[in-house]
Each structure stands twice: as structure tokens, then as C-alpha cells.
Amino acid sequence: MAIIFYISSAVAVLSTVMVITRMNAVHALLYLIVSLLSVAVIFFTLGAPFIGALEVIIYAGAIMVLFVFVMMMLNMGKKAAELESSWVNPRMYVGPAILAAILGIELVYMLASGSNRAAGFEMVGPKAVGIGLYSSYLVGLELAGMLLLAGLVGAFHLGRRDED
């Protein structure tokens, strides 16, 4: 089962390299989604399905969809519409699609064979994560909250539009 870990790691590295080398932001974002999905698969192979699911829902789902929306809404107008249709040609989505398909095959294989703790670790379910977060790592959880607060205040200050 270690082979699954290595394949998804390779997909993660490859897609991340593609993210930073793409000139078009939307193309880069597509690869970034694949990169996050592959990290989620790595979490599955390491026996942390809950974190893997969160990775898919929060990063690849919510945050990335938000990114893509913002990106598309910033380019409004006729010219942008033409630009957008030029983005949606097979050449640009075939790469991410192939990588995502590899991850999908891995996932199906893992589910079918029923052994999703490839690396030989104990499986950590949602309950264990919750108990850990609110008991032994409570201080860490609060600190993470403070970290987000600092980011929020900073984004508010730096991204604020002047009234005049």
C-alpha cells in the first residue's frame, strides 16, 4: 500500500510545480485544487480520514471555489467573457483532469480493497480528533484562533478601501 502514498505524493509535487509555473491564474488554481486533493489522499493513506475529508471540504472545496469566483468576477465585461471561453478549452483542463483521475482511481482502489491504513498507522477517527483538540491540545486550538484573528485584522486593515 505504500505505493499509493508515493503515487499521490508524486501527483502533489507535480501539480504544485504546475501551479507555480502557470502564467494564467485560473489554470494555476485548477492545479492547486488537484494539489490539495492529493494531500487529502495522503491523509487517507496515513489513517487520518477525518483530516482528509476536511482538506477536501474546506481547502479544495470552499476556499478554492471562492478563489475561482473572485478571479472570474474581477474580470467582468465582454472582453473578459471571450477570455473566459478561451480558458475552457480541452488543452487546459486535460492536465488537472488526468491527475485528478489518478487520485480517483487510488481512492476507489483503497475503498474496494478495504485497507485504508496503508502506512501501518492506527486510524484516527473524527471522535479522537475532537477529543484531542478539546483536551490535550486545547491551548493549541485557542492559539490557532488568535492566529486567525491576527490574519483577519491584518486583511481588514490592508485591504480596506478609502472612503474618499
**Least Å from the CB of residue 105 to another protein:** 27
Which residue number, 73 or 146, has a Cβ lying nearer to another protein? 146
Category of 24 on φ-ψ map: left (φ > 0), alpha (ψ -120 to 50) or beta:
beta
Alpha-carbon distance 144 to 134, whole Å?
13
**Least Å from the CB of residue 62 to another protein:** 20
Which residue number, 93 or 137, has a Cβ lying nearer to another protein? 137
Alpha-carbon distance 139 to 135, whole Å?
9
Which residue number, 16 or 26, has a Cβ lying nearer to another protein? 16
Burial, 53: exposed, middle or buried (Cβ in 10 Å; 0-12, 13-18, 19+)? middle
List interacting residues with another protein (CB under 8 A): 136-140, 142-144, 146-147, 149-151, 153-154, 156-158, 160
Which residue number, 58 or 150, has a Cβ lying nearer to another protein? 150
**Least Å from the CB of residue 134 to another protein:** 11
**Least Å from the CB of residue 20 to another protein:** 12
Name the grid cell of 81.
467573457
> Nearest Cα to 18, choosing from 7, 3, 33?
33
Which residue number, 85 or 136, has a Cβ lying nearer to another protein? 136
**H or E element in which residue 99 lies:** helix 90-113
Alpha-carbon distance 29 to 36, whole Å?
10
**Least Å from the CB of residue 114 to another protein:** 27
